[in-house]
Chain A
């Protein structure tokens, strides 16, 4: 079916029922400049097309190290190994380099790092050993996390040049900070050494600031641009002895910096993958079987063959699950034409029949939910068992039980999946917005049989990301289609409807939480069962629901089922659902105890021994104070509080915040998030607090959507909501008019900001609805329910 044919092509060419040989000889590519946009225009020569040529060998613009090129005019190009998808990494990564390099920030130009070079070069030895005492040592490098060496690049490649080219797990700062600072420091030291040798003075007498090197005793100065050629030839004698600045020494990091990619985003100049145009390029529109695991039974190209612009039709198999981390998508057909709209028009009229696995077509949301609920009653995997839960329940003054559920949810990024691929005889070029270029490089090699060292990725900004593997098989589709059209660049673009098939989904989940309360309403036992489909990342990741709140007897078990939907990351993994369960249930317990939900949480945190409990209490206190917690509100308006934390069960890195949400519900049942007060820790330091604020603002609306509107349902094995008329996105009229964000310092390194930073919107709206209407709702999204009152 797929993948491992002896020729390594990943495609059995006999499967192509129809294929116009569009290849017209080798297409020589020597003109590519990553963007029209100034911020993306490399200060160096573009990547040469000769196999084995390195990224930059122009003597006028010497490379100091793999991250840094200094041009004679002092422009500093900083290579970014993560993908800009709105989170600000283009800017924050550059800030971390610039902080140490001591270059002029106004002359910094980010540029994507070369994934091809990453395939051919090893990481410098000096980047590999992270010093210091870990998460709670401000002078430490932090704890970059890499999996074992895995040539697929799924977990990054710990010893390849850029190591971690993936953009995921909110970890770009966490994993990159140490060696990006170090790269800046190494380059700075070599620039100083070069100046010292030129002037024949001790390097200790030199200082560097804003790209100027000064020798105070003699009054001599030079610029980075002038000395860069010499520095490029000056090795550092002991790079392992170079140290990085701790947060108390930061001058650029920790300040609010506007994002370097923004000016081009307000003029339409930013180049997304969908905007890539190449000479001779053809467009591909695709249709894949809407039931996952299905494939093409037949298609008839004849009726559309002579439509304007149409060139060919090509069938492609289910992408090899080895290339999609075990997820089974669908087989499909592509029509290739001169323009995309021609291709799309033709494929819409092309007769296609599908082969659908009947067991997959039998799935629908109702029987899937029932299967998850049934799984709760089967023995699960017990992740935590403390004390004697059953005995405690026997002696309870009161027992509270609740079942919560969360639906399948897609990322629904605004830019539909697409990629442009040119497969030559011994080289593959790919233009793509990609959160995992190392994996895509591996896929290209596997599908085409061309070695990874000859695969060149030209990375573009992404029109929304929200989950590394959420991109689904966009690259694999494009590579398979282009591999059947060698010599011709093929731009494959999904329709919005295809994007809803091609994405991975946050798994549907249910949870049953049961608490035994003592006579004062404090929990003495808690029995938590959660169910998600296998691969849903909730259970496997062992999120200890409610363990953040003290309970002497506690049991937590996971229960799984097998479904056919490809599930994966969606702005986090299962954590958002689990925090919804936990925070909702704590609200219910507080109400059952007749206690204030803020103070109830506070007391239960205070009773724990968790290392970061004081940070969690501080967050609650600050958010409550910001919101004027407890003061009167107009009728139909209520406040609810919630805690967000990641990693607070241990003493490693963590990210902690609390929010108070002020919510109104009209008597007609219209919900409005009126105001959000956010207390967020900084850890030892935020790199770019402006980007952090933007992340919090955006995620409040993201989780508002999760709470109020969004759900993907399954019918006959298919995703029902496949465009924005049935899958609602909130608009500006639903954005909270008031968001107040305050930061407080804490004594550990943060995990990251990219996801799960406003999960409390979900439970808080639920508790506010309860306060206002008396209805306790446990099944998201809330719009499904009748919210009228009075």
Chain B
């Protein structure tokens, strides 16, 4: 059964089982590999992307749920790494291995949309992604810096 996925503003005609988790169609059919697979059960958040502006764990959501909706992945955040969250991440040298960071950044972007000036408690509640290198210390600072950058923009 064919259906449409609109990813980063581009409409893709997909011929695949619509029960396939969205992650795998984004990675393998559309070819955007910035969104990562890690646990496959919606626990770790490495696969976080946005559907109609809301962060979801795409490894555990059937693609049919996102059909026709606006899907945003790390590749669509900015053409050149210039989104304030990306700028803040670079300023603090936040990533280590980097594998979870696409999902972490997508969670942070969603958090800042809800809470433009987040408290530490807002960050604790809103960014529940797992990072095995434990970059959390810099991630927290980077979220506060990104909020600053966005306010000043």
Compute how far the CA of A697 lies from the CA of B138 in the bound complex, rounded to whole angstroms.
9
- Supposing A463-B36, A724-B39, A732-B127 touch, asked if A414 and B86 sit within 8 A by C-beta, the answer is no
Let me know if A464 is at the binding interface, CB within 8 A. Answer: yes
Within 8 A of B (CB), among A217-250: none
Check A268/B134 contact, CB under 8 A, given A464-B97, A724-B41, A732-B124. no
- Which residues of chain B have C-beta atoms less than 8 A from A733's C-beta? 124-125
Stretch in A126-134, A326-334, A538-546, A698-706 with 4+ CB within 8 Å of B:
A698-706
Question: Are A259 and B36 closer than 8 Å at their CB atoms?
Answer: no
Interfacial chain A residues near B86, Cβ < 8 Å:
266-267
- Decide: A272 and B99 in contact? CB cutoff 8 A: yes
In the bound complex, CA of A75 to CA of B95 (Å): 25
Does B58 sit within 8 A of A, measured CB to CB? Answer: no
Q: In chain B, residues 119-143, which have Cβ atoms closer than 8 Å to a Cβ of chain A?
A: 120, 123-125, 127-140
B135 to chain A, nearest CB (A): 6
Q: Say whether A732 contacts B17, CB under 8 Å.
A: no
On chain A, the residues within 8 Å of B74 by CB distance are 267-268
| A404 on the B face (CB < 8 A) | no
Query: What residues of chain B lie closer than 8 Å to A705, measured between beta carbons?
Result: 134
Closest B residue to A726 by beta carbon equals: B43
Asked whether, in the complex, the Cβ of A415 is within 8 Å of the Cβ of B99, the reply is: yes
Q: How far is the CB of A133 from chain B (nearest CB, A)?
A: 35
Query: Beta-carbon contacts of B78-107 to A below 8 Å, as 1s and 0s?
Result: 101100001001100111111111100100
Find chain A residues with CB under 8 A from B138 CB.
694, 697
Whether A318 sits at the interface, judged by CB under 8 Å, is no
Neighbouring A residues of B94 by C-beta, 8 Å: 262, 266
User: Which residues of A have CB within 8 Å of B41?
Assistant: 496, 723-725
Choose among B17, B36, B93, B105 the residue that contacts A258 (Cβ–Cβ < 8 A).
Answer: B93
Q: Which of A86, A267, A416, A697 has the most CB of B within 10 A?
A: A267
Chain B hits for A700, CB < 8 A:
134
Which B residue sits closest to A701, measured CB to CB? B134
- What is the CB-to-nearest-CB distance from A753 to chain B, in angstroms, rounded to a whole number? 12
- Give A466's nearest chain B residue, CB to CB: B132
Interface check B44, CB cutoff 8 A? yes
Q: How large is the interface on B (under 10, 10 to 19, 20 to 34, 35 or more residues)?
A: 35 or more
Give residues 70-108 of A contacting B (CB, 8 Å): 84-88
- Report which of B38, B44, B95, B131 forms a contact with A266, defined as CB distance below 8 A: B95
Q: Is there an interface contact between A268 and B39, defined as CB atoms closer than 8 Å?
A: no
| Minimum Cβ distance to chain A for residue B15 (Å) | 10
A694/B96 in contact, CB under 8 A: yes
Q: How many A-B residue pairs have CB under 8 A?
A: 173
> A430 vs B46: C-alpha distance in the bound complex, in angstroms?
25
Report the separation of the CA atoms of residues A690 and B32 in the bound assembly, to the nearest whole angstrom: 31
What are the residues of chain A within 8 A of B124 when measuring CB–CB?
731-733
For A261, the chain B residues whose CB sits under 8 A away are 95, 98
Interface centre among A86, A700, A730, A739 (most CB of B within 10 A): A86
Contact flags A681-712 to B (C-beta < 8 A → 1, else 0):
00000000010001001111110010000000
Q: Which residue of A lies closest to B79 (CB)?
A: A267
Set of chain B residues within 8 Å of A465, measured between Cβ atoms: 97
In the assembled complex, the Cα of A700 lies from the Cα of B29 at a distance in Å of 39
A708 CB, min distance to chain B CBs, angstroms = 13
Say whether chain B's binding surface is mostly helix, strand, loop, or mixed: loop
Q: Is A457 an interface residue (CB 8 A)?
A: no
Does B98 contact A461, Cβ atoms closer than 8 Å? Answer: yes
A90 vs chain B, min Cβ distance (A): 11
Partner of A85, one of B29, B97, B101, B123: B97
- CB pair B140 A735 closer than 8 Å: yes
Residue of B with least CB distance to A739: B137
A694 touches B93 (CB 8 A): yes
A718-732 near B? 1/0 per residue, CB < 8 Å:
000001110001111
**With A263-B81, A266-B90, A341-B28 as contacts: A86 and B34 at CB distance below 8 Å:** no
Establish whether residues B43 and A270, one from each chain, have CB atoms under 8 Å apart when the complex forms: no
List, in ascending order, chain A residues with CB within 8 A of B98's CB.
Answer: 86, 261-262, 265, 270, 461, 463
Task: Please give the distance in Å from B43's CB to the nearest CB on chain A.
Answer: 4
- A700–B102 Cα gap in the complex (Å)? 23
Question: Which residues of B sit under 8 angstroms from A461, Cβ to Cβ?
Answer: 97-98
> Which of B46, B95, B134 meets A262, CB within 8 Å?
B95
The reply to whether B97 and A86 contact each other, CB–CB distance below 8 Å, is yes
Cα distance A340–B133 in the bound complex, in angstroms:
26
Q: How far is the CA of A265 from the CA of B94 in the complex (A)?
A: 10
Indicate if the CB atoms of A732 and B97 lie closer than 8 Å.
no
**Known contacts being A268-B73, A308-B17, A739-B137, is A729 close to B40, with CB within 8 Å?**
no
Q: In whole angstroms, what is the CA distance A270 to B93 when docked?
A: 15
| Complex Cα spacing A694 to B96, Å | 8
Give every chain B residue within 8 A of A694 (Cβ-Cβ).
93, 96, 135, 138
Measured in the bound complex, the distance between the Cα atoms of B138 and A664 in whole Å is 22
- Assess whether B93 is in contact with A414, with CB atoms less than 8 Å apart: no
Cα separation A152 to B131 with both chains bound (whole Å):
33
Q: A267 contacts which of B21, B36, B75, B128 (Cβ < 8 Å)?
A: B75
Smallest beta-carbon distance B37→chain A, Å: 7
> For the complex, what is the distance from the CA of A430 to the CA of B124, rounded to whole Å?
40
CB-CB < 8 A to A463: which residues of B? 36, 38, 97-100
Most buried by A among B32, B89, B136: B136
Cβ 8 A contact of B34, one of A262, A267, A466, A729: A267
Inter-chain contact A414/B89, CB cutoff 8 Å: no
Q: Is the Cβ of A735 less than 8 Å from the Cβ of B44?
A: no
Q: Answer whether residue A185 sits at the interface, using C-beta atoms and an 8 A cutoff.
A: no
A414 touches B100 (CB 8 A): yes
Contact pick for B46, options A259, A275, A414, A736, CB 8 Å: A414
**Do A690 and B24 touch across chains, with their CB atoms under 8 A apart?**
no
List the A residue with the shortest CB-CB distance to B124.
A733
The B-contacting residues of A in range 306-348, CB under 8 angstroms, are: 308, 339-341
- B115: min CB distance to chain A, Å: 14
**A731 adjacent to B120 (CB under 8 Å):** no
Please give, as numbers and ranges, the residues of chain A lying within 8 Å of B102 by CB-CB distance.
268
A41 CB–B CB distance under 8 Å: no
Say whether B132 contacts A413, CB under 8 Å.
yes
- Chain A residues within 8 Å of B17, by CB: 308
A258 to B29, CA, bound (A): 34
Query: Which of A263, A694, A725 counts the most B-chain CB atoms under 10 A from its CB?
Result: A694
- Are B139 and A732 touching (Cβ within 8 A)? yes
Shortest beta-carbon distance from B17 to chain A in Å: 7
Chain A residues with CB below 8 A from B24, complex form: 339-341
A277 at the interface (CB under 8 A from B): yes
In Å, the complex CA distance between A729 and B133 comes to: 11
B-side contacts of A269, CB under 8 Å: 34
- Verify if A43 is at the interface (C-beta below 8 Å from B): no
| B contact residues around A270 at 8 Å (CB) | 98
Closest 3 CB pairs of A and B: A268-B34, A86-B96, A463-B99
A residues at B contact (CB < 8 Å): 84-88, 258-259, 261-263, 265-272, 274-275, 277, 308, 339-341, 411-416, 461-466, 493, 495-496, 690, 694, 697-702, 705, 723-725, 729-733, 735-737, 739
Instruction: Report B's interface with A, CB cutoff 8 A.
Output: 17, 20-21, 24, 28-29, 31-41, 43-44, 46, 73-75, 77-78, 80-81, 86, 89-90, 93-102, 105, 120, 123-125, 127-140
Q: Can you give 12 contacting A-B residue pairs, CB < 8 Å?
A: A84-B97, A258-B93, A262-B93, A262-B98, A268-B33, A268-B74, A269-B34, A495-B40, A697-B138, A698-B133, A701-B136, A723-B40
